[in-house]
Amino acid sequence: MKLSTRSRYGLKAVVDLAVYEGEAPVTLSALAGMQGVSEAYLEQLLRALRRAGIVETVRGAAGGYRLSCAPEALDVGRVLAALEGSTAVVDCVGTGDACCENACTCSARPLFLKLQSRINDVLRDTTIADLASDYIEQKRRIEHAKGLS
């Protein structure tokens, strides 16, 4: 499974919102700056995340974006599904009718099903809080290393 640019930037934006959880809403321009992408592109991603109930907007002078729920309650699979629609490694293991005519006799399908199951487990078991915590720790180690040099 290869994640699209859309998923990578969307997931990173959600993690950034989690890092700043409890503070003022994060503006679109600040998020775009953190990601190094255009505001127009990031706005498309945030729109999809808002429709999925993952982020919400706050209007006004101090407005911006924030998570709609606690980062601990939000798993990576939900975020990627909102951005991609499907996280299937191949069509025949996804949901819906998209399956090839050889699914019943495909010698590789058991492998694809096993891969999909493991991927689903990881996406479901990894929360946005986990990623935010890892990111904060990574930044702390980098800053510490800079201080040593």
The predicted structure's pLDDT at residue 2: 80
**69 phi and psi angles, rounded to 5 deg:** -145, 170
Which CATH code is given to the segment(s) 5-148?
1.10.10.10
> In the 8-state DSSP scheme, what is residue 75?
B
Indicate yes or no: pTM above 0.75. Answer: yes
pLDDT at site 85: 86
pLDDT tens digits, 95-140: 655 566 776 778 888 898 999 999 999 999 999 999 999 999 998 8
Cβ atoms of 75 and 129 closer than 8 Å: no
Cα–Cα distance between 31 and 37 in angstroms, integer? Answer: 9
What ranges do the domains of the chain cover? 5-148
Beta bridge partners of residue 57, listed in sequence order:
65
